[in-house]
Amino acid sequence: MPHHKTALRLAAPVAVLVLALTACGGGDDTAAKGPASPEVSASPSRAASGGNLATGESATGKVVEGPGEVTYDVVAQKVEVGTEAEAARAVADAADAEGRVPAVAHVKYTHKGGPALTEGSDVHDGTTVFADGQRGGVLVGGAPGDAPGCEDPYDVRSWKQGESHVFCETYLIPADATSVEVQWEEEDGEPYVWKYPRK
């Protein structure tokens, strides 16, 4: 199931690290399932249903929104990895960020079918960031639209078919991680996985 972070973001007056969602997944069924095996796609630019995707390859999935079910194309555009100093400044207690760096996933969502939205969307709730196979710690309470090229999902109130928005998810990951993954899954679906090796 997608991970609903909306309430956590709105409730946190300052940026805090949600430790319950680190490393072992905190009971998260996504971590237990792990990445699905890649499936052959009918189109080279779109995956069939869950699996590993190439950079720039999009996934198509459905999300139940307020006015009804909406079909989205989703693509992880990039992951920007910061420094340990940035991680320490982003949390209430710098000790929570020791040995960690922020990883900001830029994900583009395109409304492909279904009713127009007038009260926001839950599509970004299905996005998570993993490092070396372990789920990162969600960084909540910050302003999700502050990174260049990122929009705040809570500011998007009108969303019609054909329109796209880029939302960013920030996680803290181990500073020495060799690979970062962005995962997105629709409700009751297998995760789509974009891998970004670190140099």
Q: What is the pTM of this model?
A: 0.75
Dist CA 156 CA 181 (whole Å): 26
Mean pLDDT score, 91-95: 89
- Is the predicted pLDDT of residue 23 greater than 70, yes or no? no
For the stretch 10-21, pLDDT in tens is 333 334 333 333
For the stretch 148-168, pLDDT in tens is 889 999 899 899 999 999 999
Half-sphere exposure in the Cβ direction for 35 (13 Å, CA): 22
Cβ atoms of 197 and 181 within 8 Å: the answer is no
Element containing residue 194 per DSSP (H, E) = strand 192-197
Percentage of residues of the chain with pLDDT beyond 90: 58
Dist CA 36 CA 103 (whole Å): 22
Residues facing residue 138 across a β-bridge: 171
DSSP 8-state secondary structure symbol assigned to residue 154: G
Instruction: Give me 52's structure tokens.
Output: 């590993």
Q: Residue 143: its pLDDT value, please?
A: 44
If DSSP codes are grouped into helix, strand and coil, which group holds residue 79? strand
